[in-house]
Every structure is written in structure tokens, then in C-alpha cells.
């Protein structure tokens, strides 16, 4: 079992669970979350004999918080996950939620040899996401522009009871979710690192967003997601040239791993175990 791994001069913390000889499943969290957001899903996967590895990703692990926004560009984020996969044999099933899904899509497209299967949660294929922008997604993604600003987002989001709490409540977060955010992100010093994923968007290689995925894929989306619209979800199939399943969860908010762990674990197990 591993507790950490190294890449690019950085040290990443990992929650490693389940039998050491189980098939590895890498679980990639989104914003504003850490590895602990996968706890309920991980328990269901390990009960079926799988080994789960959930890293605190770049900007979140205390030993992996580089200062420059360009250090959070997608090639670095994908490289971090590849380093973890190398630790467990060079290939793994990959699951990602929110920003973790964006990394998972890109990894599967650019490095199919490392990705046995893909389960992406909430965020559609990057090309479908971009194509959805003039179809309503731009309004739903308004915050991505605001997060480009220096300093101000940290001030607004760190204030208890402030803008982030309100936005999260409107998006379906529970009081427990918001308290976990305060403890695990803000108090832990991971807020700027998480925001730097958004600030690094201008450094993303344009061609990387338009690479098709050729590994078996499941996409899980929920119809009460205030951040990701239906058009991108329904057109993600256009960017997968392999066995593909679209799973829509009715009445579930954006926070699928913590609010619908049974349904998500079932989708993952169906993809991983067949």
C-alpha cells in the first residue's frame, strides 16, 4: 500500500484502500474537494475486491502546491496521474469527477495504454463541453471567468457564510458538505491551489481538447447539476470510439460521489467488472 508518490519534484498524498492485489481504480476528485470525497464510493468498490487509489491532486497536497498558474496546466495534471498509475503497474481503471473528470478524459485520450476503462462523472468530454458553450453552458460556467482574477476569489470564497457557501447551497450542497469544504480546503490551505486549475486554462494545449477517447467509457451525469448542462452530456458520445454508456441520474445534484454513492459505484462496477 502507498501513502504518497512523487512527480515533477512534488509529493502527492494518496488514500490507498482495498486488497493490494485487487485491480487498481484511480479516483480523481474535483473542485473544491479532496480525496476524502470518494470515501463512500471507495468502500463499495473495495468490497468487491478492487483496490482504490484516491490522490490529493496538484494544489491540494501540501507537498504539491507550486506557485505559478502555468504549473497547473493540463499536461502537468495528466502527468501527475500517470506517475501514480506507474506506481501500481502502468495501467488502471480511471474515474474522475468534476475537474478530475477533465483530467481523466484527457488521460484516456492521450494515454490509452494507461487507462483500462474510464468512468467520467459530471463533466463531459472537453470537446463536447466547449461545443456546448454557445448553447447555454457559458452562462452556467460564469464562475470560471471570475476565478481568473488574482487574490479576489480567495477573499470572497474564504469568508464563512459568504459567496461560496451560498453558491454551494444553491448547487445542492448540504451543510455537512460546506463544513467539509471549510475544513478540508480553506483551513487546509488548498484553496489557491484549487483555483489555479482554472487560472491555468489559458496554458492548455488547444489540440488536447479535441482528441477522441478509444477506451471503454461510462459517462455519469445528473439532471440537477447547475454547473453542467444537458447538451454537452448528450453529445459526449460523439467523442468516444469504444464501448460507451451514458448514465443519467435523476434528481441528483452536481455532487454525485457524496450524494449518490450507490448509483455511482454501481456504474463504475458495471464498467470495471462488466
Measured over the CA atoms of residue 161, residue 54, residue 57 and residue 112, the dihedral's sign is negative
Q: Are 22 and 49 in contact (CB under 8 A)?
A: yes
**Among 56, 80, 198, 225, the one annotated catalytic:** 198
H runs (alpha helix) in the chain? 39-46, 74-87, 99-110, 126-131, 137-140, 142-146, 152-158, 163-170, 175-181, 191-199, 230-234, 256-259, 261-273
Burial pattern 192-202, b for ≥16 Cβ within 10 A else e, equals bbbbbbbbbee
**Is residue 235 annotated as a catalytic residue, yes or no?**
no
Query: Is 7 a known active-site residue?
Result: no
Q: Specify the DSSP element, H or E, that contains 246.
A: strand 244-249
Q: Cis (ω within 30 of 0) for the bond into 49?
A: no
Q: Are 196 and 148 in contact (CB under 8 A)?
A: no
Catalytic residue flag (residue 111): no
Per annotation, catalytic residue among 7, 29, 125, 254: 254
- What 3-state class would DSSP assign to 138? helix
Which one of 13, 98, 165, 225 is the catalytic residue? Answer: 98
- Report, as residue numbers or ranges, the catalytic residues: 98, 198, 254
Amino acid at each position: 500500500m502507498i501513502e504518497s508518490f512523487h512527480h515533477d519534484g512534488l509529493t502527492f498524498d494518496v488514500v490507498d484502500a482495498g486488497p493490494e492485489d485487487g485491480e487498481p481504480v484511480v479516483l480523481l476528485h474535483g473542485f473544491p474537494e479532496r480525496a476524502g470525497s470518494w470515501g463512500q464510493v471507495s468502500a463499495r468498490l473495495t468490497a468487491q475486491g478492487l483496490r482504490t487509489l484516491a490522490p490529493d491532486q496538484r494544489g491540494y497536497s501540501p507537498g504539491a502546491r507550486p506557485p505559478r498558474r502555468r504549473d497547473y496546466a493540463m499536461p502537468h495534471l495528466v502527468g501527475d496521474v500517470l506517475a501514480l498509475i506507474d506506481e501500481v503497474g502502468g495501467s488502471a481503471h480511471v474515474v474522475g469527477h468534476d475537474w478530475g473528470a477533465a483530467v481523466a478524459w484527457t488521460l484516456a485520450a492521450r494515454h490509452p495504454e494507461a487507462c483500462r476503462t474510464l468512468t467520467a462523472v459530471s463533466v463531459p468530454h472537453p470537446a463536447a463541453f466547449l461545443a456546448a458553450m454557445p448553447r447555454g453552458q457559458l452562462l452556467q460556467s460564469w464562475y470560471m471567468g471570475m476565478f481568473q482574477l488574482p487574490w479576489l476569489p480567495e477573499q470572497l470564497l474564504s469568508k464563512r457564510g459568504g459567496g461560496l457557501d451560498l453558491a454551494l447551497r444553491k448547487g445542492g450542497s448540504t451543510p455537512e458538505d460546506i463544513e467539509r469544504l471549510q475544513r478540508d480546503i480553506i483551513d487546509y490551505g488548498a484553496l489557491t491551489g484549487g483555483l489555479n486549475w482554472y487560472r491555468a486554462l489559458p496554458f492548455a494545449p488547444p489540440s488536447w481538447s479535441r482528441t477522441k477517447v478509444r477506451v471503454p467509457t461510462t459517462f455519469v451525469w445528473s439532471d440537477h447539476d447547475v454547473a453542467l448542462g444537458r447538451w454537452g452530456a448528450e453529445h459526449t458520445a460523439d467523442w468516444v470510439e469504444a464501448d460507451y454508456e451514458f448514465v443519467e441520474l435523476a434528481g441528483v445534484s452536481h455532487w454525485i460521489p457524496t450524494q449518490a454513492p450507490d448509483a455511482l459505484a454501481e456504474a463504475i462496477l458495471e464498467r470495471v467488472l462488466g
